Amino acid sequence: MTQGKLFPANKSTSDLYCDQASVVPAPPSYDEATADNSTLCYNDVEMLTEINWDDLNVRRVFIRKVYSILMIQLLVTLAIVALFTFSDPVKDYIQSNPGWYWASYAVFFVTYLTLSCCSAPRRQFPWNLILLAIFTLSLSYMTGMLSSYYNTKSVVMCLGITASVCFLVTLFSFQTKMDVTSYQGVLFIFCMVMLISGLVLALVLPFQYVPWLDGIYAVLGAILFTMFLVFDTQLLMGNKHYSMSPEEYIFATLNIYLDIIYIFSFFLQIFGKRD
């Protein structure tokens, strides 16, 4: 009686089971489909996993890419500094032609603003690498010319100190539980203090009112950019409060390279002995 009410009478029991198995389930209603918007199907979860910037494999590839480019930059800078320091004809030429320094400073400033403020050029291959190469060469020339005014032993010693400090700071950044990325306000205030102090020193030092202010400013600058190196390294790691997108590998390399160059320049100003 029950089967007669549910199914047509002219169908056998086996046919009924086959028809029941072949029936396509009805799509859910609108209320059922929108009952839980947070639920994702398997394909959606798989797609999000492939583009998840917090994935460890993506982050490792990002870190390796940044440090590979950074090593090339530092080797180029080291070669130019060594050439300008150990070769007397090159040293005499660049010191007698300061126009090249100001030209390299203009190129450095333009490329730095382009890579820092414009996201399209620093993400578009190969223009991002070309701009980064021009930036590296210009800053390397400026660093090499600065080093040429110091004693060769002083330059080598400051290179060793910079390498040691950067290695220890990088090791500290990867091992510590302290989140330096949350101290952006402190770094900003420190930068403002250094900016105002630099403007004051530009007016005071030519008159030799307080000679030791130059050394204090260099010490504070070395501390500031050491803090910036920790900050940028933890942004690179991605396991702190703030992190950097793996698409910004050029920007990450630019920041860390600039921190290291400034640390070397301030150490040269502290420990260097002028010729």
- Tell which wins on pLDDT, 254 or 174: 254
Determine the pLDDT at residue 137: 93
Q: What is the pLDDT of residue 92?
A: 87
Q: Which residues lie closer than 8 Å to 255 by C-beta, 6 or more apart? A: 228, 232, 235
Structure tokens at 242: 């703030």
pTM as predicted = 0.74
Interatomic CA distance for residues 233 and 176, integer angstroms: 12
Q: Would you give the distance in Å from CA 253 to the centre of its chain?
A: 5
Tell me the two tokens of residue 230: 């920790």
- One DSSP character per residue, 109-171 reads HHHHHHHHH-HHHHHSTTHHHHHHHHHHHHHHHHHHHHHHTB-HHHHHHHHHHHHHHHHHHHH
Q: Which amino acid is at 80?
A: I
pLDDT value, residue 247: 80
Q: Which two tokens stand for residue 127?
A: 């223009």
* pLDDT, tens digit, 9 for 90 and up, residues 168-227: 988 888 887 887 888 778 888 888 888 888 887 777 766 666 667 778 888 888 999 999
Mean of the per-residue pLDDT values of the chain:
78
**Cα–Cα dist 234/247, whole Å:** 16
Is the pLDDT assigned to residue 49 strictly greater than 50?
no
Asked if the peptide bond before residue 126 counts as cis, ω within 30 degrees of 0, the response is yes
Give how far Cα 14 sits from Cα of 7, 22, 218, Å.
Answer: 12, 13, 92
- When pLDDT is cut at 50, 70 and 90, the band that residue 39 belongs to is very low
Residue extents of the structural domains in the chain: 55-271
Amino acid sitting at position 270: I
- The number of helix segments (H) and strand segments (E) in the chain equals 13, 0
Q: What is the largest CA-CA distance in the chain?
A: 113
- pLDDT band of residue 272 (cuts 50, 70, 90) is confident
98 band by pLDDT with thresholds 50, 70 and 90? confident
Of 39, 20, 17, nearest in space to 28 by CA:
39
Residues contacting residue 136 through CB under 8 Å, at least 6 positions apart: 73, 76, 77, 257
Instruction: Say whether pLDDT at 44 is over 50.
Output: no
Note the pLDDT of residue 40: 39
